Amino acid sequence: MKIQNTIDIDTSPARVWELTLDVESWPDHTPTMTSIEKLDPSPLAVRSRVKIKQPAQRAKVWTVTALEPQRLFAWTAKMMGTTMTAAHQLEPTPTGVRQTLSVDIAGALSWPVGMLVRAPIAKAIATENQGFKRAAESANH
């Protein structure tokens, strides 16, 4: 089950990418993140681990699975018998960048878990996209 939200951001893909990689600053941009801690000292790379605490949830460790500069950032975490893959996809537009945030839920329990978490995840990624937009565009002014 895939849940996604897309937004146009009036700034450069480089600026949005910079915010994407600065995962520890995400709680400054969105109320959907309480704290984020990189568990590996080096810059984010495939296999880097990050511990995320979100409101009303236990902290989860996410592992980076894809990193294509200014195009794609993805990571996975295990949750309730499923594997969740969250992604940030960037696409240049004439006025900036189109960002699509998505969460893909896979595994034997993906359907019942997906039905349970679909609405809260959809709301969360829409909120996160708005936060990225505000943070990225505020650098322009």
pLDDT confidence of residue 140: 57
pLDDT confidence of residue 141: 46
The domain tally of the chain equals: 1
Domain housing 20: 2-138
Query: Would you say the C-alpha torsion 89, 140, 134, 19 has a positive or negative sign?
Result: positive
Q: Is the pTM of this model over 0.85?
A: yes
Within the chain, strands assigned E span 2-9, 35-38, 49-53, 60-68, 72-79, 82-93, 96-106
Give the mean model confidence (pLDDT) for residues 22-34: 93
pLDDT confidence of residue 139: 67
21: domain CATH number is: 3.30.530.20
Give the mean model confidence (pLDDT) for residues 84-99: 96
Reply yes or no on whether the pLDDT at 125 is more than 80: yes
